[in-house]
Amino acid sequence: MTAKPNKKYQRTKSLLIHGVILFAIYFAVQLYQTRATPSGQAPELHGILLDGQHLTSLAQLEKPVLVHFWATWCKICELEHNSINDIAQDHAVIAVASQSGDLSTVKRFTEKNHINYPSIVDIHGIHTKNWGIQGFPTSFIIDKNNHIRFTEVGLTSELGLRFRLWLATFF
C-alpha cells in the first residue's frame, strides 16, 4: 500500500523538476537572444510608413507602443501577423520590416498577407542594428516615457503582448 503513494510522489517530483529545468532553459535562451538589445531609453525610430505618413519619433505617440521587428522571409513572423493586426486595433503598433526589399516590395507583401499594422521599411537594416536585433521576430514594449519595458525574441502570444502593454500602461 505504501508503494503507490511513493510512486505518485516520485512522479510528481520528477515532473516538477523537469518543469523547472524547461523554464530555466527558456529564460536562459531569452537572455541570450536579448543580450544585444537596448534597455532604458528606446533608440530613435523614424521613417516613412507604408501609407506614406512620416514617423519622426516614438515619443510623439505619448502612450505605450509595441515596436515589432519582422521580415518577409521570416516564417515565424508569419505566425504572428494576425496577432499583431489584432493588437494594432487596440494599441499603438509600429513595425519594422527589416531587410525585406524596397517600399513597393514590402507594400505588396503586406497587402497580399493582409497585414494592416503600420510598418517602416528598413532596407539596409539600420534600425535593426541600432536596436540590437539578433533574430526575428523581435518585439519591444515601449512605455509612454519612451523607455523599453519588455523585449521578446521569437514567437510570442497575443495575450502575452497585450498583458505587457497593459503593464506598461498602468505600472
**What mean pLDDT is predicted for residues 80-90?**
97
Confirm whether 107 is domain-assigned.
yes
Take residue 136 and report the three cell numbers written for it.
Answer: 526575428
Give the per-residue pLDDT at 19. Answer: 86
**Bridge partners, 68 (sequence order):** 95, 139
Q: Is residue 93 part of a domain?
A: yes
pLDDT of residue 62: 79
User: Residue 105: inside a domain, yes or no?
Assistant: yes
CATH number at residue 55: 3.40.30.10
Q: What integer pLDDT is reported at residue 14 of this predicted model?
A: 87
Asked whether the predicted pLDDT for residue 4 surpasses 90, the reply is no
> For 24-28, 31-35, 69-73, 86-90, which range has the lowest pLDDT when averaged over its residues?
31-35
Mean pLDDT of the chain: 89
> pLDDT tens digits for 64-79?
999 999 999 999 999 9
User: What distance lies between CA 71 and its chain's CA centroid?
Assistant: 12
What is the pTM for the complete model shown? Answer: 0.82
The answer to whether residue 159 scores a pLDDT higher than 60 is yes
- Say whether pLDDT at 2 is over 60: no
CA angle 133, 139, 144 (to 5 degrees): 115
> Could you give the number of structural domains in the chain?
1
Q: In angstroms, rounded to a whole number, what is the distance separating the alpha carbons of residues 18 and 154? A: 22
User: Quick check: 167 pLDDT over 60?
Assistant: yes
